[in-house]
Structure formats: structure tokens, C-alpha cells
Structure 1
Amino acid sequence: QDTVEGKLEKRTKGVFAPAGGKKLVAFIDDLNMPQKSKFGFIPPLELLKLWVDNGFWYDRQKCEVKHVKDMQLLAAMAPPGGGRNHFSQRVMACFATVNVTAPNDVQLKRIFGTILNAKLMDFDDEVKPLADPITIATIGIYRAVARELLPTPSKSHYLFNTRDLSKVIQGMMQATKTYYNSKDEVLQLWCHET
């Protein structure tokens, strides 16, 4: 609340808006990251719900109503799990929801294959054709690990997503021709990264 209020100025008594007559879009990432209280609700989200539903929130010191004008809210979140909470449908109803599905293997190959192909273009001819097989193999390992190593209460850290896949490719992107300019050296690096 303090962060957003720092971007607002008082227009009239009890009415606040962005400075200079501008409009404000507040972006909140990881909307479902705050922890639930012992009563089962998530206080930061309840504050947002109050503002979206009613156009105001309360001053934290004076407990007076503060109407907030010319501001919109944009939020993003990952699916619940891995430290991210489910939250109430009451809060979810305040938003127009857009779901971006996880990319399929063809899309992943295009994304990461393009990146790796561009990286290996400067390497020797025996290394250049490795980009696509490495990408396909990395995606295959990622899918197998995500399918076989499911989270359990004793292994709750077994949560895999495309970020894990991108870390392998990021590791490959650190390769330089000085140290990795043969097929065996690049494959050894890939084995290390996976």
C-alpha cells in the first residue's frame, strides 16, 4: 500500500490519483506468493479486493477512507504449488483472467533450439549441428524428470518447470570456443549442465 501511495498525490479531500493528471497501471507479480493468515485469507489480496470492488482503501494511520482514482491493476501468477498459494474465488472474481498454457515440445524446441543454434554458429563445424540434438535431448530429460520425480511430502522440492530447462540452456550459453570447441567437450558440458 505504501509503495502505491508513493506514486499518488492528493486531488481533493480523501481522493488520490497519479501525479500530474496521469494514469497509473500497477503491476503485481506473483500475486499468489503471500502466505495465508491463520484465518485462511491473504491480507495483501484483501486490500486489492477492497480497492477493486469499492475504489478505496483505508489510511493505515488515520483509518480514513482514501479513494484511489485513475489507477488500474495488472497482476501475474504461476499455478499454485511450490510455495504459491491457492486463493479465494472472491479475489479471483476481481480480475479478468488470462491463462497462458505451458509450451509443448515443439514450442520448447523452437525457443531453446533457436537460442542454442545462434550460440553454436561461431564454433567449429563439428559442434554446430549439436544444437538441435542437445535441445531435443534436454527437453526429453526435462519431461521424464517432471513425469517420474513427482513431489511427495518428504520430497516437496520435486517441482520442475521450464525454468529448470532454461537453466541447462543458460549453462550451455556460457561455453566459449576456447574451452569447448570439439564435439566431446560440448557434450561433456551438456552432461554437466543436465
Structure 2
Amino acid sequence: MMITDVLPKSALVCASVDGKPVISENGQIRFAFEGNANQAANLERYYERCQCAAGRLASRSPSIAYGSAPSEDLKPVARIHLLSFVFTEILDQEALEEWSGEKIADFLPPSKIETPTQDPDILKQLCELPMKPLTEGARGVYAWSLLDGTILTMEAPDKKLTAWRPGDAGLRSILERSGLGLEDRMKMIP
């Protein structure tokens, strides 16, 4: 039995160790959640609710949006990185889409993209997904992060858009040239 009221389509985020949810001494999994009970405009999409719940869990913010439940009452459907708030793995696409009411393809890029790439067909698909700015061109480099940690960059003078995955050769140096601080670079998934 879950010890809290959780709205349908809520995001629940718990801590994990080695990919497994942390279970408390009483056999419960504690989690932060976000269901957008107040209908905030910035929490309409499932990924937004996931980022909010992950931020709440990571910062231990005071809130009534914490709960606990036995592990058999919960099913992990995805993993999210608690420093960068990006999805690192989808564990059960069908269950996630059914619960959230959204298609994963509407907020995450396909997992099988060869990077780095400047392929216009791939970049067009990626540019239609939600992203957040990392740098805004102060040093001639623009950079954006997608919700799976994929990075898009555009650098003067050629202004060609490139998609990178963390760990790609060349990404580190372009991010250093961009002026993105070390703390922000360290939050990116290796």
C-alpha cells in the first residue's frame, strides 16, 4: 500500500544504488513525486514532472510531495541522472508511455544515433525535441542539452550544427571553448 496520494501521470523518482531502488529499513521505497496538482504551465509534460521530482529528491526541498511504498507496488520504467536531470535509460517504454500518456519519441532522441553527426536529417529530428541552453554564444559557441544528455553545438565562423553524445572525442574541447563552467561540464554524463 502506497503511503501518499499520487495523481495519475505523476512522476515518481527514488534514489538508487547500482541501478536498484534504495529500500529503507521498513521495506519501503521512499520517493519524491510531481503530479502537477496545481496545473502549472511548466509541468504539463511528463519529462517536466520528472525533472521537478528529481530536483526535489536531489535537493531534499521541503514539500508534501514525498511518499513511500513497498517495492512490489512500484515498477521502475526509466533512470534519471540526479545532477543533470537527463534520462540515462528507458527500462520499460510501454509502461512509461501508458502511465505518462506521452510517447517517448516526443521528448527523447532515438538511442541509436551515431555521433558526432552533422547529418541534416538527424539534426532536424533532434531540433524538434525539448532542450535547454547551455551556452548562448558569448565565445562564439552555442550549446544545448537534450533530455538524454545529447549535446547540440554550433560554433562560429562556420555555424554548423553538430550533435554529440557525452564521451565523443572533441566534445570536451568545444565545451571548454564555449566558456561553460567546470561545475556544469562535470554534471554531464560521462
Q: TM class, shorter-chain normalised?
A: under 0.3
Instruction: Using structure 1 for the length normalisation, give the TM-score.
Output: 0.26
The structure with the largest alpha-carbon Rg is 1
Say which structure is richer in helix: 1
Say which structure is richer in strand: 2
